[in-house]
Amino acid sequence: MGNEHSHGSSAHSAAPNPYLEKHTTPEQTEALENRVRTLESLLIKKGLVSAETLDKMVETYENDIGPLNGAKVVARAWIDPAYKERLLKDATPAIAELGFSGLQGEHMVVVENTPSVHNLVVCTLCSCYPWPVLGLPPAWFKEAAYRSRSVVDPRGVLHDFGLTLDESVAVKVWDSSAEIRYMVLPERPAGTEGMGEEELVALVTRDAMLGVAKVESRVA
């Protein structure tokens, strides 16, 4: 990174702001638990939800829907040029070919990283995220530091993740302000030419599909 840009990316070296830490005392946690328990019992009594259906919803997102889905999409695109073409042209049906669809992935767009283009996904206004392919978002994706700075200082944010890009690489930031959901198709790393689809799936990380990391040629 050139010196002329050091100002714009200097925030990564800033110490965490202690005033922003989410201090929760045991008393506050207990109060929060009580409020949630109260709301659940009221919604059940009012007939909006049932405890069994809530359990099923939690299980679905804990066990069935996660970044393994997206990794399968990426690996397929790496080994099948025709699939990759369909994926980049109209991602929603291409992803559905592998069985992934639904809430927060109704309108998917997949953007491709190349040696000259690096894509980064953010939602500055809330925390929109492509659930069917990546599952529920990690905390950092939902917190102020990432949401605020990704658009103004994407290279500094990537530096926070240990990724430094050459100035010649164009960074494209995708702010998910509507109901279109974005996923990055990372570059297939060198040295994986002989690998089969399943081996490739194991290499693909959630972070790479958001654009805050690259895929490495062996599992970390």
Partner 1 sequence: MNGIHDMGGMTCYGPVIPEENEPVFHTEWEKRMFAMTMLGMGQLDTLDGFRHAVERMDPAHYLSSTYYEHWLAALETLALEKGLLTLEELATGTATEAGKGAEGPLPPEAVSAVVHGGAPTNRETGRLTPRFKAGDRVQARNLNPTGHTRLPRYVRGKNGVIAQVHGTFVYPDTNAHGKGEQPQPLYSVCFDAHELWGPDVSGTDSLYIDLWEDYLDPA
List the one residue out of 124, 107, 118 whose CA is nearest residue 209.
118
Is 186 strand, coil or helix? coil
Taking the least distance from each CB to partner 1, the nearer of 22 and 190 is: 22
Q: Which residues are catalytic?
A: 123, 126-128
Instruction: Show the CA angle centred on residue 78, arms to residues 73 and 199, nearest 5°.
Output: 80
Taking the least distance from each CB to partner 1, the nearer of 102 and 191 is: 102
Residue count, binding to partner 1 (CB under 8 A): 93
Find the binder of partner 1 among 49, 79, 97, 197 (CB under 8 A).
49
Contact between 113 and partner 1 by CB under 8 A: the answer reads no
How far, CA to CA in Å, does 75 sit from each of 41, 117, 188, 206, 212?
44, 19, 9, 13, 18
Min dist CB 125 to partner 1, Å, is 6
Binders of partner 1 in range 130-149 (CB under 8 A): 132, 135-136, 138-140, 142-149
Please name the amino acid found at residue 7: H
Binders of partner 1 in range 24-43 (CB under 8 A): 29, 32-33, 35-43
Min dist CB 165 to partner 1, Å, is 9
Check residue 53 and give left, alpha or beta (phi > 0: left; psi -120 to 50: alpha).
alpha
Binders of partner 1 in range 171-190 (CB under 8 A): 171-180
Instruction: Show the CA angle centred on residue 88, arms to residues 82 and 92, nearest 5°.
Output: 100
Taking the least distance from each CB to partner 1, the nearer of 147 and 188 is: 147
Taking the least distance from each CB to partner 1, the nearer of 127 and 192 is: 127
